[in-house]
Chain A
């Protein structure tokens, strides 16, 4: 799994040095899972907790999508930075930023895909986002 996620994240940022650390510490896997969970939680909240007609707005869906993505990205940025700094490893902030984008995109994709399925199970939001 780590391999699979590494392939994904490394498309967004790769430096041998940094990526080696990320890989060895299984961080790609960790952050990917966080992103997936974040997307899952927010989409579940939307389609099941907020299952009322007044929330059937694409704008709200979009907000939750964005929040899930930012949460994933933000978590990665902070957590990764603190881990590396704790180990006295020095990397440029664009490294953290780059992989954060990866988490952002991953959460976005997962949220989107989950939405396609979860909406079928909701009563009032089965036509949101479309």
Chain B
């Protein structure tokens, strides 16, 4: 299967990759093996760490499920660059999704560029002083570029000279694609995106020619401001500067990307920035609630993967596309997005899948352990029993699904609120979302705007969990290769069945 290399640059990149992971977990399939490559100089950024962790879990779950052609949760394969190359080279890279940047181990920017080695008072030094401010030069690179793309571009150039990039170029084949996620207003992303794109289109890495790379189909999403930061003007990152930076970057992109036809598909997304995040500069504190915009951005990747009309010739994109994302009109005073507010295409992509995964996670939380004697669990091998519930795989799965629910909760709490489900977020005493509870024990009342279709014969209404068990029991005789596969496939089919039968 061809690969889709997703360069996720900076904090936004990680968060979009997180949303993409959730989408893939819900059963969305791109047709490509997704290879996320996270580039973030902030080695301890919380969002990055969370995304990495999530990807690891996903990878393990997907391996255990080992899907074939069936529709199932966690169907799409996700692997790290190291795994891809591992088969080719001598496993030079580890299995991590985040790649380090050589030479970047903290310290000041002036040290990175060996400012001190410049001739004091010489013309080089003078040029550098023009380009970079005093604060720029003294910037501690430990936590990233702090919204300074001029710094970022210098540092990230190093990446393109790295072994990792070399390996990547080696393993890239003609059917593979590339997608780059970046924010236009941040530090890392704004710099990294054009840089990487340029290097790809040059088709030359460390002196070698790579035609496939040169003619690769490349897509990108550039995420424009969708939040504000609190704080005062002593903070190094000011959200008031977001718009001006955006304008500058867009101008640059227009000249150097669009006009040069370097990109096959460019996606834009933005929102009114009515929500205010805590202004934390990098590190473990920089963790923002998930936002709907990230989910929509992830949809861009799916869209890109499914767009068969894209092609590149002689390093030039043929008929490049430029897309934006929209929803139906929302109420001005209380903007809340439910499924009904999305376009039909978006609904078709996510409505069923996300609901399936939610039902699945609630069923596992609340019902499965009581139903180990039910036919679907016990009747055909492999059996779902207490051993399985104590297994490593199951623990992993539950943790993943915890994250899924937290992701939904955060999107609900955020502004603009994505609230397709009638749920209430659970918040700990630090204010972080740690889970959600459905407002009603009945699964069928979970999706906002939809009620259960009633049928004439239902004099006694069955519990929704029982409907789920019944749907699982429908497939009790089928054979599955492993118990993990069994649980996922059965549940996927069962949730699809009851949702389409009773809801939508």
Which chain A residues have a beta carbon within 8 Å of chain B's beta carbons? 52-54, 56, 123-127
By the criterion CB–CB under 8 Å, are A123 and B473 in contact?
A: yes
Contacting residues, chain A, for B375 (C-beta < 8 A): 123-127
Assess A127 versus B373: contact at CB under 8 Å? Given A52-B470, A53-B469, A53-B470: yes
B163 at the interface (CB under 8 A from A): no
> What separation, in Å, do the CA atoms of A126 and B376 have in the docked complex?
9
Residue of B nearest to A126 (CB): B375
Q: Does B340 contact A (CB under 8 A)?
A: no
Q: Does B462 contact A (CB under 8 A)?
A: yes
Q: Which of B444-492 contact A (CB under 8 A)?
A: 462-463, 466, 469-470, 473-474, 476
Q: How many residues of B contact A (CB 8 A)?
A: 14
Contact status A56-B462, CB under 8 Å: no
| B466 contact from A54, A126, A127, Cβ within 8 A | A54
> Known: A53-B374, A54-B462, A56-B374. Contact between A123 and B470, CB under 8 A?
yes
Judge whether B379 is part of the interface by a CB distance below 8 angstroms: yes
Given contacts A127-B373, A127-B378, 11 further A-B contacts (CB under 8 A): A52-B462, A53-B374, A53-B466, A53-B470, A53-B473, A123-B375, A123-B476, A124-B375, A124-B473, A125-B375, A126-B375
Residues of chain A within 8 A (CB-CB) of B474 are: 123
Residues of A close to B373: CB separation below 8 A:
56, 127
Selected A-B contacts with CB under 8 Å, 14 pairs: A52-B462, A53-B371, A53-B466, A53-B473, A54-B463, A54-B466, A123-B473, A123-B476, A124-B470, A126-B375, A126-B379, A126-B473, A127-B374, A127-B378
Q: Least Cβ distance of A101 to chain B in Å?
A: 33
Which residues of chain A are within 8 angstroms of B476 by Cβ–Cβ distance? 123, 126
Q: How far is the CA of A125 from the CA of B373 in the complex (A)?
A: 10
Name the residue on B nearest A120 (C-beta): B379
Distance of A116 from chain B, by nearest CB (Å):
14
Are A52 and B466 interface neighbours, CB within 8 A?
yes
Question: Is the Cβ of B379 less than 8 Å from the Cβ of A124?
Answer: no
Q: Which of B371, B462, B463, B470 is packed against the most chain A CB atoms within 10 Å?
A: B470
A127 near B379 with CB under 8 A, answer: yes
A124 touches B462 (CB 8 A): no
Query: Bound complex: CA of A54 vs CA of B476, how far in Å?
Result: 17
CA distance A127 to B469 in the complex (A): 13
Top 5 A-B pairs ranked by shortest CB distance?
A53-B469, A126-B375, A53-B466, A124-B473, A123-B473
**Cα(A126)–Cα(B469), bound, Å:** 13
With the chains together, A34 CA to B476 CA distance in Å? 34
Q: Closest CB of chain A to B469's CB: distance in Å?
A: 4
Which chain B positions have C-beta within 8 A of A53? 371, 374, 466, 469-470, 473
Residues from chain A with Cβ under 8 Å of B466 in the complex: 52-54
